Homo-oligomer: A and B are copies of this chain.
Amino acid sequence: MKISLSKLTTKGKALFLAYDQGLEHGPTDFDDKNVDPLYILDIAKKGKYDGIIFQKGIAEKYNKEIRASKVPLIVKLNGKTSLFKGEPISRQLCTVEEAIKLGAKAVGYTIYIGSDYEDEMLQEFEGIQREAHKKGLPVLAWIYPRGKSLKKSGKTEDELMEYSARTGLEVGADIIKIQYVGKEKDLKWAVKSAGRAKVVVAGGFKEGEKELLAKVKEIINSGCIGLAIGRNVWQHKNPLEITKKIKEIIWGGKK
């Protein structure tokens, strides 16, 4: 079965709102407003995002509102706290079946390539990818190079980014989320390496608005289909305003 991305994209482009930071970083990322999943959902709804990324717990407890919002739900299937400081390992914390019950239009999973546990995450991803595709559900793979082996690999940062993108294609991801390092030409090569798999860039970086928008332009120029953005939006004093500016770059104001 061919996996359609039509529910997750607008004219082939996509802007996702990421909100898995509560588990990944803890509530230190939040303030009194954005600590509330409903505040985030409201941004996604009003900003017409192509997807909102939640862990199972939030997808479950705020399910009624999520469904009502019509924002496509992307359930993040694995996760970990930032407290453990050994080689990164992030295990499956929600099944594909459960995600579907929660109304998910796609599922996501993080693979830390280079980690001592790379093999376990690659294998766990395999099961998820297989089951999701059986049900026609697209799979997003967050692919980040991590761990103490990286130094020994002799790879530069942009080579690691490109390797991440290619890994996503090889293991069967439909959309690959990578972190943007290096220059536009490097990201272009990463996109090319990903072949028919689509690439989105993870926000992550915390910068001034001008720098952010410049980066968005590079991301789109490089052939990525869009971004999965989080803190740059929901920590912004006016999330819808910044959303609008980002969307104008992605869709040329036509969305």
Residue A214 interfacial (CB < 8 Å): no
Determine how close the nearest CB of chain B comes to the CB of A40; give it in whole angstroms: 11
Residue A237 interfacial (CB < 8 Å): no
Number of interface residues of A (CB under 8 A): 74
Q: A92-B126, A172-B56 are in contact. Are A80 and B23 (CB under 8 A)?
A: no
Residue A189 interfacial (CB < 8 Å): yes
Residue A7 interfacial (CB < 8 Å): no
Determine how close the nearest CB of chain B comes to the CB of A104; give it in whole angstroms: 14
Residue A169 interfacial (CB < 8 Å): yes
Determine how close the nearest CB of chain B comes to the CB of A102; give it in whole angstroms: 10
- Whether A83 contacts B166 by the Cβ 8 Å rule is no
Q: List B contacts of A153 (CB < 8 A).
A: 82-83, 85
Interface hits, A71-85 → B, CB 8 Å: 79-85
One digit per residue, 1 when the CB lies within 8 angstroms of any chain B CB and 0 when it does not, for chain A 192-203 equals 110111000000
Partner of A173, one of B57, B86, B147: B57
Q: A126-B94, A130-B98, A196-B61 are in contact. Are A23 and B83 (CB under 8 A)?
A: no
